[in-house]
A and B are shown apart, each in its own frame.
Chain A
Amino acid sequence: MSLTLTVDGERWRAHLLATATRSPGIVPVAKGNGYGLTLGRLARRAQWLADHAAETGAPLDLLAIGTYDELGEVTSRYHGDVLVMTPWRPFGAALALDEQAAARVVHTVSRPEDLDALRERHPSARFVLEQLTSMRRHGMTRRELEAAAHALGSARSGLRGVALHLPLGTTSHLGEVSRLVNDVVASGLPTRTIYVSHLTHAEMGQLASRYPDFTIRPRIGTDLWLGDRGALRVTATVLDVHPVERGDVFGYRGRSAPKSGHIVVVSGGTAHGIGLEAPTGDQSLRARAATLARGGMDAAGFVRSPFSIDGKQRLFAEPPHMQASMLFLPSGARTPRVGEQVDVRVRFTATDVDHVVVD
């Protein structure tokens, strides 16, 4: 009776090992809804990857998470250090860490004043400094990094490296990364470790060769956990099927059927994130045209749903409910049985399934 994510376990684990092998210094990212797989599962899997370091040749000593609030979910399942990617601020959950968790956390510091405040509270705190990139979200400018270098001095400090959050690439990131690494050298910071994300495998290779004295560590989330889509399948259960004639009234909103066919009730609704669209990030003309077309269907009362029956995506008969959705199946199409599983195409980062089944 639920929305289920079925994982082809063997294929998925093989992909995880292959990704780690290909990415020395990898820092797996487990944040938010755990990419649909749940945080706890990813934390356990990160520990599993760490245990297989001899096999992959990629020792795994750090797991990146999104927020301090996520610490509780991962620290009991993963035993190494945890990098919190949301920058530390002198307020909020960052200040409520218990001692045990605090000892395992690597903070992200993105403002010079926060560096002072953090070190004042926790003189032995470990941290990475976030550098401002063209994304302009959080981060320090070159001069701020230099100020941080002065504040740290040459004494042994908790500095673990510099972190960059690059925008999703349309062109090569190498030019920007080269300038940013040069800025790190210019700042005089006593570190040669750079944490980056969203670089292609080829770009990582070029960086490693251009900066042989640096350790470039890739933070990898999507490409690790969801990189082999064929290993993942999301399905909903057919809960009910009702024949309707043109003009028949149905649903919460008393709509009437546009023609004869079936109303198919499936599991999965707004509580799972079904029907709530997150921007896909795809800015191509084609994607924008598709958005417009969807808007048109919406106006006419037909909205394409993410559920597909026999390989064909079906229309919502009305907006999704909290835990179920009603689809309209025109006559002529095969009518699914109650209890049958149908495929659902979801954005994993915006969907909470009821069950994850790993074969």
Chain B
Amino acid sequence: MTTRLTLRPISAQEHRDFIAGQSSASFLQTPAWASVKADWRSESVGWHEGDTLVGVGLVLYRQLPKVKRYLAYLPEGPVIDWAGDDLAAWLTPLVSHLKSSGAFAVRMGPPVVTRRWSAEQVKAGIADPAVRRLGDVPPLERCQEGARVVAQLHELGWQQQGTEGGFAAGQPQFNFQVPLVAEDGSPRTEADVLAGMNQLWRRNIKKADKSGVEVRRGDAGDLEAFHALYAHTAERDHFTPRPLSYFRTMVDALGAEDPDRIQLWLAHHEGDLVAATIAIRVGTHAWYSYGASSTEKREVRGSNAVQWAMIRHALEAGAAVYDLRGITETLDADDPHVGLIQFKVGTGGQAVEHAGEWDLPLNRAIYKAFQVYLARRG
């Protein structure tokens, strides 16, 4: 890099416009995400080369109890050119800006892939009792770009946050994705994607269709119905549901950026809501974000039907990736998390490892105290 990069706060509009011009960025880096995370102070920042905006970041500031110091967090970001070999040129102005804004540490999640595994490899790994973690399986690919980012972050003094065991506290490092374009970049057909799924998925999609499951896109008016089913799912599967207001804010904020940014999907069978999901898309990246399903009528396979509808919609919108988000690293057949992996693996995509979340402590003492605080909170 020959020109020096400078960084300054930018408006939400500039931020949005820049992302609109990118082929993809994480939805956690859109300015709309700031309104979803209302308990965090937020700021849009932009890198400039001369007068040209060349990168953006959404910074969430989380205040430490009782002190006016913040953890500055850029979830799945920032949106910069990660492919180069001069990360210092990008990170130095960011860090000095955040430091002057009162940050005691910076946390970010470089959106770069470090390893990939095929669905077949993951499946074989689960079946093999000697394999306990995804990392025990030889990957399809180790990505040079991701490795280069990891190497540079080490060189620049960033610390990788552990993800041993289940889900890490932050964003998941391992995700499951279905590529919607072929290796040469040409779009895949519906038939091709369907053919890539395992037999169970194909059978279930067919079964849902035959038994008369109807999937349609919902609107804000359907949010309450989604939430009721989601709360039911939470009770059944023992997780803590988010309140309806959280989803209202999310739909309003993300929907305001782009009519297709956030979509509500509903699967009905003879008038009963059997599955409902929320999907998000930024550019060519489509995510399955939240899902809910009824305990009754599982045999009509509403969940498979709604997934298939979302995949078809993503294909139609020209997406390159359908992202089912987090999986744990475990491939231990006895681990309760393995069921979730098996469900996602059935789509025939790839398990993808990202570089993970990295911290740069700016004030060692406060950072240490913060880690102790986190460890206590569990």
Cβ-closest chain A residue relative to B135: A210
Q: Report the minimal beta-carbon distance from A306 to chain B, rounded to whole angstroms.
A: 45
Q: Please, could you name 12 A-B residue pairs with CB atoms under 8 Å apart, sorted by A?
A: A179-B151, A179-B154, A183-B147, A183-B151, A185-B142, A185-B147, A188-B144, A209-B136, A210-B135, A212-B136, A213-B139, A213-B142
Query: Does A143 make an interface contact (CB < 8 A)?
Result: yes
Query: Does B170 make an interface contact (CB < 8 A)?
Result: no
Query: Does A256 make an interface contact (CB < 8 A)?
Result: no
Cβ-closest chain B residue relative to A189: B144
Check A143–B136 contact: CB distance below 8 A.
no
Query: Does B208 make an interface contact (CB < 8 A)?
Result: no
Please indicate the chain A residues that have their CB under 8 angstroms from the CB of B142 in the complex: 185, 213
Please indicate the chain A residues that have their CB under 8 angstroms from the CB of B151 in the complex: 142, 179, 182-183, 186
Q: Report the minimal beta-carbon distance from A128 to chain B, rounded to whole angstroms.
A: 19
User: Given known contacts A142-B151, A143-B85, A179-B154, is B139 in contact with A185 (CB within 8 Å)?
Assistant: no
Q: Give Cα A182 to B147, complex, Å.
A: 6
Cβ-closest chain B residue relative to A213: B138
Query: Does B333 make an interface contact (CB < 8 A)?
Result: no
Per-residue B-contact encoding for A122-149, CB less than 8 Å = 1, 0 else: 0000000000000000000011001000
Name, among B85, B137, B142, the residue most crowded by chain A CB atoms within 10 Å (CB to CB): B142
Name, among A182, A185, A187, A210, the residue most crowded by chain B CB atoms within 10 Å (CB to CB): A185
Q: Give Cα A182 to B115, complex, Å.
A: 11
Please indicate the chain A residues that have their CB under 8 angstroms from the CB of B147 in the complex: 182-183, 185-186
Within 8 A of A (CB), among B193-225: none
Query: Does B148 make an interface contact (CB < 8 A)?
Result: yes
Q: Which positions in B face A, CB cutoff 8 Å?
A: 85, 135-139, 142-144, 147-148, 150-151, 154
Per-residue B-contact encoding for A170-211, CB less than 8 Å = 1, 0 else: 000000000100110111100000000000000000000110
Q: Give Cα A157 to B136, complex, Å.
A: 29
Check B136–A186 contact: CB distance below 8 A.
no
Q: Give Cα A55 to B136, complex, Å.
A: 28
Name, among A142, A143, A210, the residue most crowded by chain B CB atoms within 10 Å (CB to CB): A142
Q: Give Cα A164 to B198, complex, Å.
A: 43
Check B154–A186 contact: CB distance below 8 A.
no
Please indicate the chain B residues that have their CB under 8 angstroms from the CB of A179 in the complex: 151, 154
Please indicate the chain B residues that have their CB under 8 angstroms from the CB of A142 in the complex: 151
Please indicate the chain B residues that have their CB under 8 angstroms from the CB of A212 in the complex: 135-138
Cβ-closest chain A residue relative to B130: A209
Q: Give Cα A81 to B154, complex, Å.
A: 37
Q: Give Cα A90 to B3, complex, Å.
A: 38
Q: Report the minimal beta-carbon distance from A26 to chain B, rounded to whole angstroms.
A: 22
Please indicate the chain B residues that have their CB under 8 angstroms from the CB of A209 in the complex: 135-136
Name, among A186, A187, A209, A213, the residue most crowded by chain B CB atoms within 10 Å (CB to CB): A186
Q: Give Cα A210 to B147, complex, Å.
A: 15
Q: Give Cα A187 to B151, complex, Å.
A: 10
User: Given known contacts A142-B151, A143-B85, A179-B151, is B138 in contact with A186 (CB within 8 Å)?
Assistant: no
Q: Give Cα A188 to B137, complex, Å.
A: 21
Check A186–B148 contact: CB distance below 8 A.
yes
Please indicate the chain A residues that have their CB under 8 angstroms from the CB of B150 in the complex: 182, 186
19 new A-B contacts, CB < 8 A, other than A143-B85, A185-B147, are A142-B151, A146-B85, A179-B151, A182-B147, A182-B150, A182-B151, A182-B154, A183-B151, A185-B144, A186-B147, A186-B148, A186-B150, A188-B144, A209-B135, A212-B135, A212-B137, A212-B138, A213-B138, A213-B142
